[in-house]
Amino acid sequence: MIADDTARALLEITDAVVEFPVGGRRLRAVDTVSLAVDRGQTFGLIGESGSGKSTLARAVMGLVRGEGTVRIGDQAAESLARPRRGHKRARPAQMVVQDPHSALDPRLTVAASVAEPLRARGTMSRRERSQRSLAMLERVGLPAQLARRYPHQLSGGQKQRVNIARALVSDPEVLICDESVSALDVALQAEILNLLTDLQRDFGLTMLFISHDLAVIAHLADRIGVMYLGHLVELGDAADLLTAPSHPYTEALIAARPEPLPGKARPGKRVILEGEMPSPLTPPSGCPFRTRCRYSREKCAQERPTLRSVGHGSLVACHFAEEIHLQGALRERHPLPALTSAPRSPGTTIGGTA
């Protein structure tokens, strides 16, 4: 198993395997995944539902048991097999999940929810906890008067800000975002993405950002891992991987993302994958992607490809990565008009041309 470059990594996951018992059989949701994230960087994990990306995050958080190890910072590597849920220990990793509503206790006020991780840790006085929570709420852009409200009195965007505040209040080194902006409208999503970027810079956070939305990952991530059926099938620098993908599944994900571009700026023929992801209970022999792959050959059914280097820093699990020519993401964007309140004068542009 080739691991990612681990020399300076702050978060390192090695050979993670997670299995669930299903009707007497074993469902392998995560199959020998290794990755590493440098301090202050964002690792984007992309894949469709059932690819195992959320399960991997839950294993790192100690919410499900598996095999393999996780190491954060200078701590010793911990086994994923042991439950790591002790209330008293400081948690170097925190998570923000997709549904901001179900993640909050409806009977707790916003302030109480945010203070909860500090209370559980038990090292601060009530006063300190309250001060720290209020400061964090302010930092994520929530006005002070919201602190005494209950979740049902907040909008979806406000609730997600509360979740972010709660995740950051205990000063974690790693923030795991599991589809944290997927339930939000595009305008709101942009606000939360901007907030996360600011917070990452200010707190020096290392992020593992999980999403099915390639656009979000493309915007945020320094490095990207593509998961399919529990396997990491491609891993590399974000810009390289997206503009010059090496795995057919990465290509398909890029092509499937509808771009809001006028006709003449649109890419040529789209690759549309046929069929659906097979059940992880009955994975195909050989390459997990071969049943939907348009380049599939005999060897793909016989031998499972492992992650290997194909030049330019990317690791890819495909037998024929060097032989196939794949289409990547666009490098140019259609310019938008500048929105300023001064008619026809060059002022501060708000709607930039990107």
Site stretch for other proteins (CB under 8 A), options 27-35, 89-97, 98-106, 339-347: 339-347
Q: Which stretch binds other proteins (CB under 8 A): 19-27, 119-127, 144-152, 267-275?
A: 267-275
Judged by CB under 8 A, the number of residues near other proteins is 64
Q: In whole angstroms, what is the distance from residue 98 CA to residue 57 CA?
A: 13
* Nearest to other proteins of 72, 164 (CB atom): 164
Among 270, 294, 297, 308, binds other proteins (CB under 8 A): 270
Contacts by residues 3-8 (CB-CB < 8 Å, ≥ 24 positions apart): 3/34, 3/35, 3/36, 4/34, 4/35, 4/36, 4/223, 4/235, 4/315, 5/36, 6/36, 8/38, 8/39
Q: In what order do the strands lie in the sheet with 231-237?
A: 93-96, 174-178, 206-211, 42-46, 223-228, 231-237, 315-316, 308-309
Query: Is 197 an interacting residue with respect to other proteins (CB under 8 A)?
Result: yes
For residues 261 and 207, is the Cβ–Cβ distance under 8 A? Answer: no
Residue 144 interacts with other proteins (CB under 8 A): yes or no: no
Closest to other proteins by CB, 106 vs 352, is 352
Judging by beta carbons within 10 Å of its beta carbon (0-12, 13-18, 19+), is residue 26 exposed, middle or buried?
exposed
- Residue whose CB is less far from other proteins, 276 or 303: 276
Question: Does 215 participate in binding other proteins (rule CB under 8 A)?
Answer: yes
User: Contact between 334 and other proteins (CB under 8 A)?
Assistant: yes
Q: Which of residues 276-295 bind other proteins (CB under 8 A)?
A: 276
Closest by CA position to 331, among listed 306, 297, 354: 354
* Interacting residue ranges for other proteins, rule: CB under 8 A: 48-49, 155, 185-191, 193-194, 197, 212-216, 218-220, 238-239, 242-243, 252-253, 255-264, 266, 270, 272-276, 329-341, 343-344, 350-354
